[in-house]
Structure 1
Amino acid sequence: MKREFAVIGLGRFGGSVCRELSSEGMDVLAIDTIESKINEYRHIASHAVIADATDEKVLKELGIRNIDHVIVAIGEDIQASILTTLMLKELGIKKITVKAQNDYHEKVLNKIGADQVIHPERDMGRKIAHSIISNNILDHLELSDDHSIVEIKAGTKLVGKSLTELDIRARFGCNVVAIKSGEANEINVSPLATEVIEDEDVLVIIGADKDISRFEKQLVIDD
């Protein structure tokens, strides 16, 4: 059964979310106050409507209560973002994800009950910073403010050594939860301690950011 989503605000972030969800075959209701934006997404989303999401009556008329997950991606208008989130909570939406403009905005959103608050610019900045530090860092996903999962391409300091030899958990407090190997990226979940790292292998590591950083500096970044 296809899940139903609504994206409120079709700026760069909201528009990207709308496109991706639609490309995955999801039913997406796209909402914005600007007609040109609605015209742009009319043939992308399942439904695209010009509407003021801070108006509870309008939200009810759109049938927002029947939506599984609403993404509030309103741009610079923090007040509209907060009011819309409040309305959605009062209408009993199952899951609400909201884009925050700053830390103060995030605190307010958390207080009024947003299920997930994201900082796309900040998070992308951290991701890019990791990739700049080392070409071996392929991906970086935050689990919380202090913990992440990273995908690391094996460098010269790792290749040819077993997980026992590297002793990553004891030395750095991180855990290798999977290894991707070969051109097909075959995934070995929970690899054995005797597993030997081969050239082009990708290690999936979970841990505290400070521990992952130590691991990167000592074993990932080639001298």
Structure 2
Amino acid sequence: MAKEKRSFVVIGLGAFGGTVALELARFGNHVLGIDLDERRVSQMASALTGAIILDTTDELALREAGLENYDVALVAIGDDIEASILTTMNLRVLGVETIWAKAASKTHHRILSKVGADRVILPEQEMGRHIAQMLNNPAVQDYVSLGNGFSVVNIVIPARLSGRPLAALKIGQQHDLRMLGLMRGTEFLCCDQDGVALQADDRLILLGKRPELRRFGDVL
């Protein structure tokens, strides 16, 4: 059965909001982009389902645009914190089911959470932590934080371990981690497959708490 597409409205079409809107549209979703800047709206018009100039601090304007009919709203307004807060409040009043909002600071984050945002993101800080993790350990190609201290990481197997059995890594024994699988090129290998020997540039997918993941990366 084909996955049902959802409808999204992205408010603020700067570098962050514009990128999110374009990616959502690329996945085949119905995406409406909104901004006060005519140039940004014009640039997005052909790539999105719709793009309009609108003052989203005006609740009546949002209602007339039918935003209450959208499944998800992303408030990606940049420097105007007051507009970001008022827009988030208006979307909640309208009854938009899910609201994500971009924050410019921790204080902004707290306010957005209080006025109705379901999830608040600090893109610069989150990306900074992401990059620091990879710079700190070159073996880590990517990672996803799951909350409560847990992360999933993608670790590249070094050439010196080529030919060694997967069991030699002693994951779950010396290391309190869970192995989710192994990627070899575009092929996914289950971690319970007998006789799997490591190859250089295999990518190991691990779940665990960050300190233990760091220790494993350091000894790999």
* TM-score w.r.t. length of structure 1: 0.88
Equivalent of residue 31 in structure 2, options 4, 28, 31: 28
Q: Are 1:197 and 2:198 matched, yes or no? A: yes
Size of the alignment, in residue pairs? Answer: 217
Identity among equivalent pairs (%): 37
Shift of 1:24: 1.7
Does the CA contact (< 8 Å) of 1:168 and 1:174 recur in 2? Answer: yes
Partner of 1:207: 208
Partner of 1:10: 13
Cα deviation code 1:48-76 (max 9, x no counterpart) = 11111111111111111111111111101
Structure 2 unpaired stretches of 5+: none
Structure 1 unpaired stretches of 5+: none
Q: Which amino acid aligns with 1:141?
A: V
Q: Does the residue aligned with 2:174 lie in a helix, a strand or coil?
A: helix
Q: Which amino acid aligns with 1:179?
A: L
Aligned counterparts, 1:136-151, within 5 A: 136-144=139-147, 146-151=149-154
Partner of 1:94: 97
Q: Are 1:59 and 2:62 matched, yes or no? A: yes
Cα 1:197–1:152 shift into 2, 3 Å:
same
Q: Does the residue aligned with 1:197 lie in a helix, a strand or coil?
A: coil
2: CA distance between counterparts of 1:9 and 1:193?
51
Partner of 1:111: 114
Q: Does the residue aligned with 1:122 lie in a helix, a strand or coil?
A: helix
Shift of 1:47: 0.7
Does the CA contact (< 8 Å) of 2:160 and 2:200 recur in 1? Answer: no
2: CA distance between counterparts of 1:157 and 1:110?
48
Cα 1:45–1:178 shift into 2, 3 Å:
same
Deviates more, 1:103-112 or 1:50-59: 103-112
* TM-score w.r.t. length of structure 2: 0.89
Does the CA contact (< 8 Å) of 1:65 and 1:92 recur in 2? Answer: yes
Q: Does the residue aligned with 1:28 lie in a helix, a strand or coil?
A: strand
Does the CA contact (< 8 Å) of 1:162 and 1:193 recur in 2? Answer: no
Does the CA contact (< 8 Å) of 1:138 and 1:152 recur in 2? Answer: yes
Please, what is the CA RMSD of the aligned residues? Answer: 2.0
